Amino acid sequence: MSLRWAIVGATGAVGQIVLAQIEQRGVEFESIKFLASKRSAGKQVVFRGHSHEVETLCPESFEGIDIVIGSTPDEVAAEFTPWAVERGAIVIDESGYHRMLPHVPLVIPEVNPHAIRAHSGIIASPNCSTTQMVVALKPLHDAAKVKRVVVSTYQATSGAGVAGSDELLENTRANLGNQSFAAKTFRHPIAFNLIPQIGSLKYEGYTSEEMKMVFETQKILEDDSIQVCPTCVRVPVANCHSESILVETERPLSVNEVRELFHAAPGIIVQDDVVAGSYPMPRNCDQRDEVFVGRIRRDLSSLNGVAFWCVSDNLRKGAATNAVQIAQLVVASKLTKCGS
């Protein structure tokens, strides 16, 4: 199938990984164009060994386009998505703008690929912290129905974009040099520190980032009865989010059962040998597309509970990789106007 692609936000950190993923996965297309706001238009991006000029994002940009991947802030997604849909394109949106709209599927290909068929021109990719957790929850939910999740996240500074990564480096240098430092991207200095707030205050003391994990998990797993208690923390780690997850299921699962379920699940790698010091760590999961799990153990406080540790590259599986996987799923399912 010969399709025409457009990448919106191609100059950003996630957009650059989207291009790399398209290249590494050997995605075929008739044509591809790179779009961005006026501020970034005119810049050059390198794709498949050639330099391409980034075009200014406008309604006419989507004439004749079949698939769009958007890696933009919410306000940009809200503006350009109608332009693309009106012209017959399918938009895979990585922003948070469309995720909880009832007519927009929220998709992780390893978890709910069937959901793409309910699209009305837009398919949303979940929040990075939700994505890795739900990939890990899926085999447990299928086997024994997840009832309750208690999760604490340890989120890397790259989750706040290039500015977040830069601030970690600048703040660290300042601390080591005994220099003053004024935090800009984060609410407090991040070097040698933990910040137990990501996002704005939303509900009963929970933040926007935490409530995303609640509502997105229920939507993806198609089960509003699942209870989620999240605490999201920003940590001085450059890349890869880590999560401590406790799951309570309808029936008990042994540690061996859980380990085998993880082994058999797509997109999951098990590293679970405490004696040998083998478990997922950010520095070992960086630039990988899988979700890594380890420290699998019985919950001492619940008969039907299991606890484990989960790490994933938030810029890849948590963002760019998932979007490209959705696009590949759309093509394989022949859902574009070209394939219909």
> Of the residues 128, 232, 240, 310, which is catalytic?
128
> DSSP string of 147-198?
EEEEEEEEE-GGGGHHHHHHHHHHHHHHHHTT-----SSSSS--TT--B---
Hey, which residues does 269 pair with through a beta bridge?
292
| Cβ 230 vs Cβ 206: under 8 Å | yes
d(CA 15, CA 54): 12
**Residue 81, both tokens:** 């998505």
> Of the residues 240, 241, 285, 310, which is catalytic?
241
Number of Cβ within 10 Å of residue 139's Cβ equals 22
Contacts 24+ apart (CB under 8 A), 163-171: 165/13, 165/238, 165/239, 168/236, 168/238
58 among known catalytic residues: no
List all residues 6 or more positions away from 4 whose beta carbon is below 8 Å from its beta carbon. 29, 30, 31, 32, 64, 65, 66, 67
- CA dist 150 to 70, 162, 198, 210, 216, Å? 31, 30, 17, 11, 15
Which residue do the tokens 């240098």 mark? 173
Which residue do the tokens 């600048």 mark? 170
Which residue do the tokens 């010969």 mark? 2
128 among known catalytic residues: yes
d(CA 95, CA 84): 15
> DSSP string of 58-122?
-GGGGTT--EEEE---HHHHHHHHHHHHHTTPEEEE-SSSSTT-TTS-B--TTT-GGGGGG-SSE
Q: What residues are labeled active site?
A: 128, 241
